[in-house]
Amino acid sequence: MSIALTPATEQRLQRELETGNFREPDALLNHLLDLLEAERSNDTATDKAMNDWLFRNRDAVNAALDQSFAQAERGEGYSPEESQAILDRHGASRIANAA
């Protein structure tokens, strides 16, 4: 396989090779491909875990959604400004607790 690189990409690869972490471009590219595969694997695992959780809890999630929609229809929700204020307070509280 032959790969054509833009001058900017070639410079980036050259700078990385000059760090001394990789002797050959092939080693650097293999490392980058390993990182991409690991990232894809992690994304897939996260997606699967989320889908599994949603599937296991679908009745509770659907009930909560139904309740939320009914409240909104009755006008029992928050205005956008009220919602933002609640989120801001919650975020500030999380930051304070993390410190």
DSSP reduced 3-state for 21: coil
Compute the distance between CA of residue 8 and CA of residue 18 in angstroms, rounded to an integer: 15
% the chain with pLDDT above 90 = 47
What does the pLDDT look like over 11-57, one tens digit per residue? 999 999 999 888 899 999 999 999 988 888 877 888 888 888 888 88
- At residue 82, the pLDDT reads 92
Number of Cβ within a 10 Å radius of residue 25: 15
DSSP conformational letter for 81: H
| Alpha-carbon gap, residue 78 to 72, rounded angstroms | 9
Looking at residue 74, its pLDDT comes to: 93
pLDDT of residue 55: 86
